[in-house]
């Protein structure tokens, strides 16, 4: 176990503890037996840590793109790495979380799974909050709390059962943050809808170009209908969700607005998309304050293609 002593000062000290004196029945083979240190940790957690530690050269990047760790593995490596002061393993685990609970809106939108990491479940966001608190990885908290806020209330309160049988739940403080964040994020979503339903003028509107006396009024009317629908569907989970606008397509065919056949011209769709992107970026820039964990230097800017 010299590799453990090399990586962890805690293990190094534990291996220096004198072993029990040999009995009279001790054989020569027993006298050179490896030192034994009993650990109180979950066996599966220790196995996960050892699997990450043992491969040669794995220390720098144990969770690479071709290795998809489960929440249990990441949690075990961070918790035991923190406990036994294996700092590079802790940093590797937290670095993996940073990739899926990012600081920028662009990076957040590139994540396919609603749970974040591909092998995680949505409820594991509760564990991510706890790991961020344990390690001081505050930059992970805004997105993790937002994901917690999108959970059903019963699941948010109950948490989940870890593989060792213990329950993972939020602290009272973080639970309160998540409940408040649910309401705050829904308000942001409704605010987006109000902004998008405001009248706008687009000199490139197809209706205007065709000489229609209504100018862009038809597109403005359709935008109001769509925005009203979205306000009714507002949740903490979809505040940053980009949606399709009903628009004219090939052959002047388009998606109809619920209850009518109106649609937006392509030019007005682009205007509305830019407006929506600005609303979402503004909300993202304020996300730490919205969820109750203010951070300096959080994802300012980043309006790609806007």
pLDDT, position 18: 67
Long-range contacts, 159-168 (Cβ 8 Å, 24+): 159/123, 159/126, 160/121, 160/123, 160/124, 160/126, 160/127, 162/72, 162/75, 163/42, 163/44, 163/72, 164/42, 164/44, 164/45, 168/126, 168/127, 168/130
Please indicate whether residue 304 or residue 146 has the higher confidence score (pLDDT): 146
Query: 152 or 241: which carries more pLDDT confidence?
Result: 152
Q: What percent of the chain has pLDDT over 70?
A: 75
Give the pLDDT of residue 67: 74
Indicate if the pLDDT at residue 91 is higher than 60.
Answer: yes
**Interval 141-158: pLDDT, tens:** 999 999 999 999 999 999
Q: What is the mean pLDDT of residues 261-290?
A: 88
Note the pLDDT of residue 252: 36
| pLDDT > 50? residue 84 | yes
pLDDT the model gives residue 39: 83
Choose between 297 and 103: higher pLDDT.
103
pLDDT digit string, tens, across residues 188-213: 998 998 888 888 878 788 765 444 54
Specify the pLDDT at position 219. Answer: 80
**Phi/psi at 247 (nearest 5 deg)?**
-140, 160
- Which uninterrupted H or E stretch holds 161? strand 160-161
User: Any idea what the Cα angle at residue 287 is, between residues 228 and 195, rounded to 5°?
Assistant: 25
Residue 74's contacts (CB-CB under 8 Å, 6 or more residues apart) are 63, 93, 96, 97, 117, 131
Under the banding of pLDDT at 50, 70 and 90, the label for residue 45 is very high
Yes or no: say if 121 and 75 are a contact pair by the CB < 8 Å rule.
Answer: no
Show me where the domains of the chain are located. Answer: 39-170, 185-290
Q: Where are the alpha helices (DSSP H) in 101-171?
A: 105-109, 125-135, 141-149, 153-158
> What DSSP designation does 168 have?
E
Q: What is the pLDDT of residue 211?
A: 45
More confident residue, 217 or 141: 141
Cβ-based burial of 282 (10 A; exposed 0-12, middle 13-18, buried ≥19): middle
**For the segment 59-76, what is each residue's pLDDT rounded down to a tens digit?**
556 776 567 899 999 999
Which two structure tokens, joined as six digits, stand for 8? 């962890």
Do the beta carbons of residue 197 and residue 223 sit within 8 Å?
Answer: yes
What is the CB neighbour count within 10 angstroms for residue 54?
10
């Amino acid at each position: 176990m010299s590799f453990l002593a090399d990586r962890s000062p805690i293990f190094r000290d534990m291996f220096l503890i004198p072993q029990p004196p040999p009995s009279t029945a001790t054989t020569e083979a027993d006298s050179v037996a490896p030192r034994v240190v009993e650990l109180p940790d979950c066996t599966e957690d220790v196995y996960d840590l050892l699997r990450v530690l043992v491969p040669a050269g794995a220390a720098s990047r144990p969770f690479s793109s071709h290795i998809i760790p489960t929440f249990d593995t990441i949690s075990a490596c961070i918790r035991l790495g923190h406990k036994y002061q294996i700092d590079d393993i802790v940093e590797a685990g937290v670095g993996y979380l940073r990739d899926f609970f990012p600081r920028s809106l662009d990076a957040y939108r590139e994540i396919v799974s609603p749970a974040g990491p591909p092998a995680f479940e949505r409820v594991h966001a509760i564990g991510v909050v706890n790991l961020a608190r344990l390690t001081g990885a505050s930059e992970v908290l805004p997105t993790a709390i937002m994901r917690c806020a999108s959970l059903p209330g019963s699941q948010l309160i109950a948490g989940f059962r870890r593989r060792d049988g213990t329950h993972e739940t939020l602290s009272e403080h973080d639970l309160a943050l998540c409940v408040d964040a649910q309401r705050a994020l829904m308000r942001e979503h409704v605010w987006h809808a109000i902004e998008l339903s405001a009248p706008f003028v687009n000199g490139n509107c197809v209706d205007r170009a065709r000489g229609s006396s209504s100018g862009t009024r038809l597109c403005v009317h359709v935008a109001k209908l769509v925005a009203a629908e979205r306000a009714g569907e507002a949740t903490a989970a979809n505040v940053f969700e980009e949606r399709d606008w009903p628009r004219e397509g090939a052959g002047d065919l388009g998606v109809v607005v619920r209850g009518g056949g109106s649609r937006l011209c392509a030019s007005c769709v682009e205007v509305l998309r830019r407006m929506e992107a600005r609303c979402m970026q503004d909300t993202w820039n304020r996300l730490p304050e919205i969820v109750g964990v203010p951070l300096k230097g959080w994802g300012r800017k980043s309006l790609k293609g806007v």
